[in-house]
Amino acid sequence: MNHQPDRPQNGAMPPKRTRAYEQRRYFTCRANLFVMAAFSLISLVLLAFGSDFNLSFAAILPLFLFSFGKEAAAQYGIPLLFPLALFLVVVLILFYFLCWLFSGKKYGWLIPALVCYGIDTLVLLSRISPQYLVSMTIEIVFHAWVLYYLVAGIVSGRRLKKAGEELLSPSRPDGEPSTKA
């Protein structure tokens, strides 16, 4: 039987303030970041093929930039606007994927993802209109979900790093690990 000591057998959350708990929260944060980036890419592809459907877990800013660039290029007759907007969209989605990838080793990569997704949330909130409030509620809930897990992941990453430093530091005479102030 291949049992991992840091994971409970039944899939339940480990007790709070344990290494396993922090690892689980960090993994959940990274999984949410990956899913958000993937759904943003899928929604962009759907939008590019003329669909009005977008996935609720997707970032709004790339979709907004894509639509704005396409409409502005057609309206103002400046063909360079759409490729520029498309470039920004690709960079933004790639940025989320890179933050996910590099956060596997350093939790600090979650911070720029949090800032960028926070800006994305502000764009979402600025576009709320009373006639679409009910349909946008789901978008707002998913944005809050991702923001919560990004913050939780940063906190857990910091705790895991601090716990790792304490394990490597010399012990005090009473046998307790020394803590750095």
Whole-number pLDDT of residue 179: 52
**Token match 């990453």: residue?**
157
81-87 mean pLDDT: 91
For the entire predicted model, the pTM comes to 0.79
CB 21 within 8 A of CB 13: yes
The predicted pLDDT at position 138 comes to 87
DSSP for 35-52, written as a single string? HHHHHHHHHHHHHHTT--
Span 113-135, mean pLDDT?
87
* 55 in Cβ contact with 146 (< 8 Å): no
Residue 4 has pLDDT above 80, yes or no: no
